[in-house]
Amino acid sequence: MIREAKGRFLFALLATLAPALANACPIDSISQGSKIASDQYEIAVTTLPADIKVGDLFAVQIDICTKDGSSFNGDVSARATMPAHKHGMNYKPETVSSENGRFILEGFSFHMQGRWQFEFDLAENGETTTVLLDYVLK
């Protein structure tokens, strides 16, 4: 009887925790890329490939978690500009994959060396937060 009650308790506990674990934020396990934060979010940004070359197309993986550790469940759009030159890219990136707070955006190309700035718009629950990340292409 006690063993059966313990089994039911363990099953109930796992059933309760499973959704939280499935939506747990993966950022702490990410060792590559850049980590940034806003008031609401923890963000990890990784370029694919890691080594960007002038004029080559590349993708960006962005992992987003709320400050409470759950996965971001909104939409992401992105662009990149060169603030010193007051221009952006010749391409418009698109989100091609999203799952549990991880987004893959394709269509980036830096056509010249220098300081670039990624701009990520995170839209969730009717609010949009813009997060900036500087990147120097050598």
Task: Write out pLDDT tens, residues 20-54.
Answer: 444 567 676 665 789 998 999 999 999 999 999 99
- Looking at residue 14, its pLDDT comes to 35
| Cis, bond preceding 49 (omega within 30 deg of 0) | yes
Task: Tally the C-alpha atoms within 13 A of residue 119's C-alpha that lie toward its C-beta.
Answer: 11
Task: Evaluate if residue 10 carries a pLDDT over 90.
Answer: no
Sorted by sequence, the CB contacts under 8 Å of residue 103 that are 6+ apart come out as 61, 62, 63, 64, 76, 95, 97
Distance, CA of 63 to CA of 65 (rounded, Å):
7
- Looking at residue 29, its pLDDT comes to 61
Give the global pTM.
0.79
Task: Write out pLDDT tens, residues 123-135.
Answer: 999 999 999 999 9
Q: Which of 8-22, 23-37, 83-97 has the lowest mean pLDDT?
A: 8-22
Percent pLDDT > 70 in the chain is 79
35 bridge partner residues: 44
